[in-house]
Amino acid sequence: MEFFTLASSSSGNCAFAKSGDTAILIDAGIAAAKIEQTLAEQGERPDKIAAILLTHEHTDHIAGAARLAVRYGIPVYASPKTWSALPFAAALPPSLKREFTYDMRLGEFSFEFCKTSHDAVQPVGLVVQAEGKRLGYVTDTGTVTRGMLYALHDLDALVLEANHDRQMLMQGPYAPFLKRRVAGLSGHLANSQAAELLARLLQKRLCPVMLAHLSETNNTPQTAYQAILPVLQRLGGGAEKWLAVAPAHAPSVRWTL
Ligand SMILES: [Zn+2]
Ligand SMILES: [Zn+2]
């Protein structure tokens, strides 16, 4: 399985995964033209995308989805209640509207879904499985849910939100209500929360980790990296090679699992 993110931050999220002839996008929260351009730069083609999977309805996850779907006839998948909140739901041809199911398969891919804790109607994280490998993808969650702990086992790679540094958030420019929202149970995962979760998940087996959905106001790639690195160092040697940070506006490293 191959994987990279095209963009990852509070201003837009989109990730690519491919197994054999089947390619998918997880979220499409940047402009369709930018997705097309980035895929081309990575040697991939938008007309080869078999599905767009949306984790929830927030703009930074869906901005380019409808345009891309219509342009290339790509089915869009989302949780059942998310469809009621997607602004383009009525405009999208019914043939392109699909709901997540627990037995859904796309080519080589199968999926497990877990609830995240976020101020959206039915947000999900997922484990993408292909070729015997399991890749976890969880962003936009204010806390670690039981479902996340249940789903995120035996991973071969994990993309995990490290949205903010608590101190930077509290001392930063956000209005008080926004600080409460981001730090709240239905907000976003702090670096320290990501560190705690990783310490728990990776005890038995270390795997490559990519920190994602970093706030450009309340975090820096360096801050997030330094918050997480000691956790991986405690779990095994050569921690640097296990840890990557997804850039906000450029493609990440490309994983081959
Ligand atoms: Zn988001
Ligand atoms: Zn969100």
Q: How far does residue 236's CA lie from ligand 1's centre (Å)?
A: 31
**Any domain includes 256:** no
Q: What is the CATH number of the domain that holds 106?
A: 3.60.15.10
**Any domain includes 254:** no
Dihedral sign (CA 20, 252, 239, 137)? negative
Q: How far does residue 246's CA lie from ligand 1's centre (Å)?
A: 14
**Any domain includes 255:** no
Closest-lying ligand to the alpha carbon of 30?
1
The C-alpha angle 63, 41, 131, rounded to 5 degrees, equals 85
User: What residues contact 188, with CB distance under 8 A and at least 6 apart?
Assistant: 10, 118, 140, 141, 142, 161, 163, 164, 182, 213, 215
Here the tokens at position 134 are 């399991």
Identify which of 38, 97, 27, 98 has the alpha carbon closest to the alpha carbon of residue 63: 27
Give the pLDDT score at 236.
83
Domain containing residue 223? 2-248
Q: How far does residue 56's CA lie from ligand 2's centre (Å)?
A: 7
Closest-lying ligand to the alpha carbon of 13?
1
Q: How far does residue 188's CA lie from ligand 2's centre (Å)?
A: 8
Give the pLDDT score at 208.
96
Q: How far does residue 120's CA lie from ligand 2's centre (Å)?
A: 7
Q: How far does residue 4's CA lie from ligand 2's centre (Å)?
A: 20
The neighbour count for residue 91, using CB atoms within 10 Å, is 9
Mean pLDDT along residues 243-256:
98
Structural domains counted in the chain: 1
CA dist., res. 81 & res. 95, Å (int): 18
CA-derived radius of gyration, the chain: 17
Q: How far does residue 140's CA lie from ligand 1's centre (Å)?
A: 5
CA trace torsion 207, 210, 213, 217 (10° rounding)? 120
Is 205 within 8 Å of 154 (Cβ atoms)? yes
Res. 237: pLDDT tops 90: no
Here the tokens at position 248 are 């906000």
* This prediction's pTM: 0.97
Closest-lying ligand to the alpha carbon of 121?
2
Question: In this predicted model, what pLDDT tens digit does every residue of 181-232 receive, in sequence order?
Answer: 999 999 999 999 999 999 999 988 899 999 999 999 999 999 999 999 999 9
Question: In this predicted model, what pLDDT tens digit does every residue of 70-117 receive, in sequence order?
Answer: 999 999 999 999 999 999 999 999 999 999 999 999 999 999 999 999
Here the tokens at position 163 are 């949205």
**Any domain includes 257:** no
Residues, Cβ < 5 Å to ion ligand 2: 58, 140
Q: How far does residue 118's CA lie from ligand 2's centre (Å)?
A: 7
**Any domain includes 189:** yes
Mean pLDDT along residues 7-30:
97
**Any domain includes 224:** yes
**Any domain includes 110:** yes
CA dist., res. 249 & res. 149, Å (int): 29
